[in-house]
Structure 1
C-alpha cells in the first residue's frame, strides 16, 4: 500500500509538482526525510532556530550554580536562610524596579478597556493603596496624595502594590508586548488598539486566548509573510512555534532574584566568548550586598575619584538618619529614589540592595532552602488546566483570559513525578510530612505568605543582603515593597546569535577499526 502511495506521489510530482521542491536538501526532517516549509510535501512549517529576543525593559542573566542563603552570622535569629548550593537556568529580569509611570500606564489601560460600570471593581482593584504612606505620628499626607501621581515621582518605584496586583501586572505586560509584536509584524491591524481602548472589555487581546483560538482580534495583512498553511496559502494566525511572540512576563522566583542580585558574572575574569576561550568559573568569597566586595566599607564607593565615599544604595544608615546631613546628604534620598539611581551590580541591575524590597513568586516557608529542588528551586506551584466546561468559544472569563482550574487529583494517581495539583504545602503542611501550620494560632505563616527580598529605604544594612528573606501576605501592601518582572529564557543557556549551542561540541573524528 505504501509503495503505491509513494509511487502516486512521485507521478503527481512529475506531472504538475515542482521537481526542484523534491530535490532540495535544506530544512529536511531527520526522521522522515520530508521537507519542511514545502506545500508539496505537507506544508509543515518550522521556524529557523534562533535566540529569544530580549523583551522591553529586560536584561539577560546567564544561569549557573551559586550558594543561596545567608552570608554572615544570622544576627536576627531567623534561621530561615541556611546556605545551600543550587542551580538556576538562564532567564531575563527587569533592569529596574517597576516605576510609577509604568504602573500608571497599566491603570490607564484598565480604566479605558474596562470603562463599563460593571467592571468598576476591576478598575479599583488594580490601583495601588496610597494609604500605605499614612502614619499616626508622621506628616506623610503629601506622599499619600502625590507620590504615585505627580510627574516628579514618575520614575520612582511603585509601592502600595500587593503580590496579587504585581502578578496581574505581569499578565497585562505580556499581553501588551505580544500585541505590539503582532501589530509590528502585520499579523494584527493597528486599529485594534483603538477598538480595545474604547471600552473593549472582555474582547481585549490576551496571549493565551489568542493562541488557543478564542480571540481573533483584527487580523492584518503582513507584507512579507513567511507563514503558510498546508496548502501553501499565507497564514495570518500566529502560533507560538513561529517564534514571533514573547514568553510570559512573571515575578522572578526567589532563587532567580537572589542569583541576579549577586551578579556573580563579575567574578569571572574571562567570560566565555567562544569554544576556544572559556572562563575559569571562579566564585570568590560570597559578597554581602548586590555588588562585588571592594574595600573595607561595602556600603560606600572606596575607589579614588569623584564618587569615593558615596553610598551605593538607598537604606537607613542609623536611627533617624535616612539621607544624611544637609550639604552632604549621604544617599540623597529620604524615601524611595528613582529606579536608575545608585550603583548597578554585575548584571547591570539597579537597586537589588535597598530602595524598596521586592515581591518574588515564592510562597514563604522557613525551611524552603532545605526542602525545594536544587535546580530552579521554587515553592508555590498549583498545577492548572484549561476549563473546557463551557465548550469551544466560551473558555474566556469576563476579563478575556482563559479560564483555568486546578488539575483533578484523581487523574494524577498513576503519575510518578507528581500526584497532587496543589503543591504549595507539599511535604510541608500535608499528611505526607505530618507538618502543619496553625495560622493565627502558632504562626503567622500561611499559604498566602509570599517572600520579599532586597531591603528598602526604611531598613538597616542587614536586610540589604541578597540572602536575607522576609514575608508579607499576598493581599497586603507596604510603602517599602515594590517589584520587578522576569521572563524565562528558552533554549541554550547562553544568549546571542553566536551562542545558541547547548552542550559542548568536539571536532568529528573517524572511528578506528
Structure 2
C-alpha cells in the first residue's frame, strides 16, 4: 500500500513538473508580467500610482510614478463586426472577361486579419446617424449627410414611391441604405468610430458592474484606470478601451471576405476548389437542404426578370431585400453578392493588380500611375483620383457581377440606387 502511494505521488509530481515546464514564462501582449523586460523596473499599479516599497511602505511623493500597464484580454469587438482570419488568396476575376476591361488580372496576395460588418449598413443604421448629426452639427453638415433619395427616380419608370418611402418608411428599416456616395460612406465611418469610442469611454469612467474589456471591476477601479490613461477626455489607445477606426474595406479585403475560401480547406493549406461566387459551385441556386433550388442572392435574373413569378417568386425581391434575407457565406457575412453593390476604399486604376503590393494591397491615390497620364481633358479617358471602386453586384445586375473578382467604378461624389456599403476594422494582435 505504501509502495503504491509512493508511485502515485511520483506520478503526480512528475505530471506537475511537466505541466509547469509546458507553460511559457515569456511575457506576451495579454500578460506582459509585473516588470519591464527592458529596465527591470516594476510597472505601476492599475491606478497609475507607484507601487509600495519592499516592506509594504508606500513610496515617497518624490518618487516618480511608474509606467502603467492596463489589464487587457483582447480587442473589444465592435457592434455588427465579424472576425475575418487573414491569409493568402488569388485576387482577380475568375469569370470570362466579357467586358474586355482586363482590369483585374489574377494575382496571389495576402491579407492581414480584420473585422467586417456582417451586413450592409441599413436604412435604420443611417437614420440613427442622421439623428445625431442633426442634433450635434450645423445644418450645412447635416444636409451633406442626407442620402440622395432621387436615385430611385426614372422618367420612364414609376419608382416615385421609392423616392418618398424607401429610406424613411418603417417597412424598409432593415433594407440596405442606398443613394450614399463614397464620401458620405467615409464620413459615416468616421462618425461611427467616434460614437462607439465615446460610449466605451463612458463605460470606462462610469461605474458599470463589468468593464467593456470583460471581467468584474472593483468600486472605483474603472474610474482609476481610465483617469490614468485619459487623453482629451477619452481613454488613450494604450488603455485598450479604444476601438480602431471603422473604415471602408480595401478592395483586397472585400474580395477576400466575399470569397470566404476558408470554407474550401480540407488539409494543411490545401483547398478543394476555387470559388466563382461567395459559395461553392457555378450554380446560383441552393443545391441542397430544405431550401434546395432557391436563389443564393438577390440579382436580375434576365431581361425584365427581377424576381420570378408571383406565388412562387424564387428570388423574392423586386428591388433590394432585408440584409439577413439570403444565406451568409463561410465567414458569416450576408449579401457579399447581390442586393446592393458596395463601396470599397480603393481609387480605381485599370492596372491596380500590376502595381500594388502583394501584402495588404491598396491603391489610395495615383501613385505610380498618375491621373495626368490619362487624357481626361481630351475626353479620351475618365480616369482620375476621384474614381472609387465598388463591387458585389446588385438587385439590378446580372449574375456576372456577383463574382467577387469583378470590379467597377464611380465618382466618389456620386450615388445610385444600386450601391450601399459596409465597414471594416483592423484586428490588433490577433491573426486567428
Please give the alpha-carbon distance, in whole angstroms, between the structure 2 residues aligned to 1:241 and 1:453.
36
Report if the CA contact (8 A) 2:205-2:226 is conserved: no
Please give the alpha-carbon distance, in whole angstroms, between the structure 1 residues aligned to 2:350 and 2:33.
54
What is residue 386 of structure 1 aligned with on the other side?
Answer: none
Please give the alpha-carbon distance, in whole angstroms, between the structure 1 residues aligned to 2:162 and 2:283.
31
Describe how 1:40-55 pairs up with structure 2 within 5 A.
Answer: 40=59, 42-55=65-78
Secondary structure in structure 1 of the residue aligned to 2:307:
coil
> Do the aligned partners of residues 129 and 306 (structure 1) sit closer, same or farther apart at CA in structure 2, a change above 3 Å counting?
same
Please give the alpha-carbon distance, in whole angstroms, between the structure 1 residues aligned to 2:69 and 2:222.
17
What is residue 252 of structure 1 aligned with on the other side?
Answer: 249
Please give the alpha-carbon distance, in whole angstroms, between the structure 2 residues aligned to 1:362 and 1:26.
41
Report if the CA contact (8 A) 2:201-2:234 is conserved: no
The alignment of Structure 1 onto Structure 2 pairs a total of residues equal to: 373
1:291 to 275, 279, 302: 279
Describe how 1:77-476 pairs up with structure 2 within 5 A.
Answer: 77-114=100-137, 119-186=138-205, 222=220, 224-227=222-225, 238-269=235-266, 280-293=268-281, 298-303=283-288, 305-380=289-364, 424-429=365-370, 436-440=373-377, 441-476=379-414
Pairwise CA RMSD: 2.3
Secondary structure in structure 2 of the residue aligned to 1:250:
coil
Please give the alpha-carbon distance, in whole angstroms, between the structure 1 residues aligned to 2:271 and 2:335.
22
Q: Structure 1 regions of 5+ residues with no counterpart? A: 1-24, 190-220, 270-278, 381-423, 495-513
> Do the aligned partners of residues 71 and 179 (structure 1) sit closer, same or farther apart at CA in structure 2, a change above 3 Å counting?
same
1:229 is displaced (CA, Å) by 7.5
Please give the alpha-carbon distance, in whole angstroms, between the structure 2 residues aligned to 1:229 and 1:469.
47
1:28 to 28, 35, 51: 35
Report if the CA contact (8 A) 1:65-1:87 is conserved: yes
1:490 is displaced (CA, Å) by 1.1
4+ residue segments displaced more than 3 Å: 221-226
Question: Once the two structures are superposed, what CA deviation does each residue of 1:118-152 show, in whole Å capped at 9, x if it has no partner?
Answer: x2221110000000000010000000000000000
Please give the alpha-carbon distance, in whole angstroms, between the structure 2 residues aligned to 1:67 and 1:284.
14
Report if the CA contact (8 A) 1:361-1:451 is conserved: yes
Report if the CA contact (8 A) 1:45-1:228 is conserved: no
What is residue 83 of structure 2 aligned with on the other side?
Answer: 60
